[in-house]
Amino acid sequence: MTSYILDAVRTPRGRGKAGKGALSGVHPQELLAPLLPALAERNGFDPQRVDDVVIGVVSQAGEQGSNLARNAVLASGWPIEVTGVSLNRFCGSGVQAVSFGAMGVGSGMQDLVVAGGVESMSRVPMGSDGGGTDGQNARLRETYFQVPQGISADLIATRERFSRAELDSFALGSHRKAARAIEEKRFARSLVAVRDRSTGALLLDRDELVRPDTSLEGLSQLKPSFVEMGKMAAGPNGETLDQLALRGYPDTREITHLHTAGNSSGLADGAAAVLLASERWVKESGRKPRAKILAAATIGSEPVIMLTAPAPVSLKALKMAGMTAKDIDVWEINEAFAAVVLETVRKLDLDPDRVNPNGGAIALGHPLGATGAMLIGTALDELERSDKSTALVTMCIGGGQGVAMILERV
Ligand SMILES: CC(C)(COP(=O)(O)OP(=O)(O)OC[C@H]1O[C@@H](n2cnc3c(N)ncnc32)[C@H](O)[C@@H]1OP(=O)(O)O)[C@@H](O)C(=O)NCCC(=O)NCCS
C-alpha cells in the first residue's frame, strides 16, 4: 500500500539564541501547536480523524520534555482523542517522524497521521538533556569515544582534503540560494507565520538567519569554531578530543579545523508538520495528494567521524526504490556542516545544481528536531515549482547514523 503526503507546513526559522531570536520568547509546544489547525484548515479534514501526531524533538528536557507532541496537541485545541508521541533520532528526527507516520498509513493501520518536528535551540540549548554524546557510559567510551559533531566535521574536511575556501564557497552558495528563494517567495506555500497566541501580534513571517550580504571575504575572516574544543582534555589519560577523534584514523596526523560560524549550520528555533494519508483515506476523501513516499531508510556508520552516512543511506533508499542517483531531480542534503554536503556530493557523484537548490541549514539554520520535516516540505515545494518529479532528502545524524527518504510527485 502507498503512503501519501497531502501537505506540509512550517514556521519560519528564528535565530536560536536566547533573547536575540524573534521566536526565542515562544514555548516550543506553542511553536508546533498552531501548525495543526493550519493543516486542518488548508486540507479540510476533521481533526478527530487524525490517528496520531508523531513529532521529532532532540533535546527532550525542560520545556521540550513531558511528551511535547501530546502537549502540543492539547495546546492546539484539537480533540483530546488525538494522541501525540515524541521521538529522538538526533538531527534525523523530523525525517524519522515522517517515516514512522508513513509506515502507519502505508501498513493500513492508520489513515491520517501528522508527523513533523520542533526545536527551540534558544530555550532548550543543545546538550540540555545532560546525556552528552553517549549518555556518559564510560565502558562504551573504551570502544567508541564519540566527540562533538564540530570535531567530526573538521575530521571529514581534513581527510577529504577540503580547503577552507571550498567550504566557504559552499556556504556563500547556500546564502545566495536561500536569499533568492526568499526573494522569489519560494517558501511561501509552506510558511505559517508565528504570532503571539495571546495577543495575535506577529512575531516572525520569514526565515531570520539568512545573510544576503554574505561574501567570501567576510566568511574567510571568521575564526574556526572548534579549535579550542579540540584541545580539551577529555580522555582517561588526558587525551584531547582531537586525539580521541584520531584514534581510529592513524593515517591522519592532525585535524585541521576549518568549520566556522559561517560554514556550519546555524542554531535555530522552529517547527514543521507533514500530513500523511493512507490509500484508503485518499480514496474516501477524494483529496489529491501532493506526493507519495517511494522509500525510507536509515543506516549506521562509524560513530566517531559520525557524519558520513548520507551517502550510504541514500544508496540504500535508492536501491529499495529500484532507482539510481541519476533518477533524483532534487536532492536535499542537510547542511549540518559544509564538509558533510561536499563529501556526500563527491561520494555519490551528484550534479551540484540538483543539490539544495534553495540553500540549506548553513544559511537558514537547523532547528534540530524540525529540520527533516522542513526539508521534506521544501523538496515538495521545489518539485512543484520546477515541475520535476522526484526528490531525495537525507541527513547526517549523531552517533553515526543517516536517514533518507525518496518522494515522488503524484
Ligand atoms: C558553529 C557555531 C559554534 C557558531 O556559533 P556562534 O559563534 O554562536 O555563531 P553565530 O551564528 O552567532 O555567528 C557568530 C558571528 O559570526 C559571524 N557570521 C556568521 N555567519 C556569517 C556570514 N555568513 N558572513 C559573515 N559573518 C558571519 C557574525 O559576526 C556572527 O555574529 P552576529 O550574529 O552577532 O552578527 C554554531 O553555529 C554551531 O554549533 N553550529 C552547529 C550546530 C550543530 O552542531 N548542529 C547539529 C549538526 S550535526
Backbone angles phi, psi at 6, to 5 degrees: -90, -35
CA-wise closest residue to 168 among 363, 307, 348: 363
pLDDT at 367: 99
CA-wise closest residue to 96 among 106, 88, 104: 88
pLDDT at 199: 96
CB neighbours of residue 340 within 10 Å: 30
What is this structure's pTM? 0.98
Catalytic, 27? Answer no
Separation of alpha carbons 204 and 81, rounded Å: 31
32, 273 Cβ separation under 8 angstroms: yes
Separation of alpha carbons 323 and 133, rounded Å: 35
Query: What separation in angstroms does the CA of 143 have from each of 134, 244, 247, 253, 309?
Result: 12, 11, 10, 20, 20
175 SS3 class:
helix
114 SS3 class:
strand
Separation of alpha carbons 99 and 79, rounded Å: 24
Query: What separation in angstroms does the CA of 259 have from each of 156, 232, 338, 395, 406?
Result: 11, 17, 8, 18, 29
pLDDT tens-digit map of 300-334: 999 999 999 999 999 999 999 999 999 999 999 99
Query: What separation in angstroms does the CA of 3 have from each of 56, 99, 116, 286, 409?
Result: 19, 10, 15, 15, 12
Nearest CA to ligand 1 atom 12: 261
For helices 338-348 and 310-321, what crossing angle results, to 10°?
A: 40
204, 400 Cβ separation under 8 angstroms: no
Backbone angles phi, psi at 17, to 5 degrees: -125, 130
CB neighbours of residue 346 within 10 Å: 12
Separation of alpha carbons 245 and 148, rounded Å: 9
pLDDT at 47: 98
Cell digits of residue 166: 571550498
- Taking only the tens of pLDDT, the chain with its 410 residues reads 899 999 999 999 999 999 999 999 999 999 999 999 999 999 999 999 999 999 999 999 999 999 999 999 999 999 999 999 999 999 999 999 999 999 999 999 999 999 999 999 999 999 999 999 999 999 999 999 999 999 999 999 999 999 999 999 999 999 999 999 999 999 999 999 999 999 999 999 999 999 999 999 999 999 999 999 999 999 999 999 999 999 999 999 999 999 999 999 999 999 999 999 999 999 999 999 999 999 999 999 999 999 999 999 999 999 999 999 999 999 999 999 999 999 999 999 999 999 999 999 999 999 999 999 999 999 999 999 999 999 999 999 999 999 999 999 99
116, 377 Cβ separation under 8 angstroms: no
Q: DSSP assignment, residue 337?
A: B
Q: Say how many Å lie between the CA of residue 285 and the centre of ligand 1.
A: 46
Q: Say how many Å lie between the CA of residue 209 and the centre of ligand 1.
A: 10
Q: Per DSSP, which regions of 164-306 are E strands?
A: 194-195, 202-204, 268-278, 291-300
Nearest CA to ligand 1 atom 8: 261
Separation of alpha carbons 393 and 403, rounded Å: 8
Substitution candidate for ligand 1 out of 267, 340, 395 with most atoms within 8 A of CB: 267
Separation of alpha carbons 349 and 307, rounded Å: 18
DSSP assignment of 367-403: -HHHHHHHHHHHHHHHHHHHT--EEEEEEEETTTEEE
Question: Residue 306 CA: which ligand 1 atom is closest?
Answer: 48
Catalytic, 257? Answer no
pLDDT at 80: 98
Catalytic, 259? Answer no
Q: Say how many Å lie between the CA of residue 160 and the centre of ligand 1.
A: 23
410, 289 Cβ separation under 8 angstroms: yes
Separation of alpha carbons 316 and 280, rounded Å: 28
> Where does residue 387 rank: exposed (0-12), middle (13-18), buried (19+ CB within 10 A)?
exposed
pLDDT tens-digit map of 152-207: 999 999 999 999 999 999 999 999 999 999 999 999 999 999 999 999 999 999 99
Q: Quote the radius of gyration of the chain (alpha carbons, Å).
A: 20
Q: Which residues contact 203 (CB under 8 A, 6 or more apart)?
A: 14, 22, 23, 25, 26, 193, 194, 195, 196
Question: Residue 153 CA: which ligand 1 atom is closest?
Answer: 48
Cell digits of residue 252: 591522519
